[in-house]
Amino acid sequence: MTRIFLIGYMGAGKTTLGKAFAREMSLNFIDLDWYIEERFHKTVQQLFLERGEDGFRELERKMLHEVAEFEDVVVSAGGGTPCFFDNMEYMNDCGDTVFLDVEPAVLFRRLRVAKQQRPLLANKSDEELMDFICEALQKRHPFYSKAKHLFKADELEDKKQIQASVDSLRKQLNK
């Protein structure tokens, strides 16, 4: 029985690497945000607006506990998921946790092109975006660093890099 939780900041590659790794290992892949959206028929953004951050984080915690019961699964947790309640400890108790560590400059490059799809980033200048990323990483690092495994995920730009990362993660997890 395999349970792997991928954590890290938005743009770290949790979905990209998670899908590829799950496919290679014949595991199911669950993006926690997508799971929440499917269950509640609303976007994460809508749920955030309706319930506020506290309400959303409580809902997220319940859904994390639900998906953590699944077997043979790779779960991509939301970027903030490890930072609330006992979520990080819970994921560590339920399976392998992998922090996808990515340099701020790489995150900036990835998020800059996807700014419009991410409400938190939409109207930020380049300088504001870089500051936002660095501040958030600093706040979240104490939580992310509790993961059982640290994985450098700077190179996920094409199929060759993704496959190399899958192979490397497989070795690291002894899978």
pLDDT (tens digit per residue) in 73-128: 999 999 999 999 999 999 999 999 999 999 999 999 999 998 877 878 889 999 99
For the annotated binding site for Mg(2+), the residues are 15
For the annotated binding site for substrate, the residues are 33, 57, 79, 140
Tens-digit pLDDT profile for residues 31-62: 999 999 999 999 998 998 999 999 999 999 99
Whole-number Å distance between alpha carbons of 140 and 138: 6
In sequence order, what E strands does the chain have?
Answer: 3-7, 28-31, 73-76, 96-101, 149-152
Mean pLDDT value of segment 149-164: 98
Give the position of tokens 């309400």.
55
Global pTM value: 0.96
pLDDT at 86: 97
For the annotated binding site, the residues are 11-16, 33, 57, 79, 118, 140
Mean pLDDT value of segment 133-157: 98
pLDDT at 120: 80
Q: Work out the pLDDT band at 140, boundaries 50, 70, 90.
A: very high
pLDDT at 138: 98
pLDDT at 165: 98
pLDDT at 119: 72
Six-digit token string for 97: 């946790």
CB 8 within 8 A of CB 101: yes
Mean pLDDT value of segment 57-75: 98
Question: Of the CATH numbers 3.40.50.850, 3.30.2130.10, 3.30.200.20, 3.40.50.300, which one belongs to the domain with range 1-158?
Answer: 3.40.50.300
Cα 34–chain centre separation: 12
Whole-number Å distance between alpha carbons of 10 and 15: 10
For the annotated binding site for ATP, the residues are 11-16, 118
Q: What are phi and psi of 29, to 5 degrees?
A: -120, 130
Domain ranges, ordered by start, for the chain: 1-158
pLDDT at 146 over 80: yes
Cα-only R_g, the chain: 15
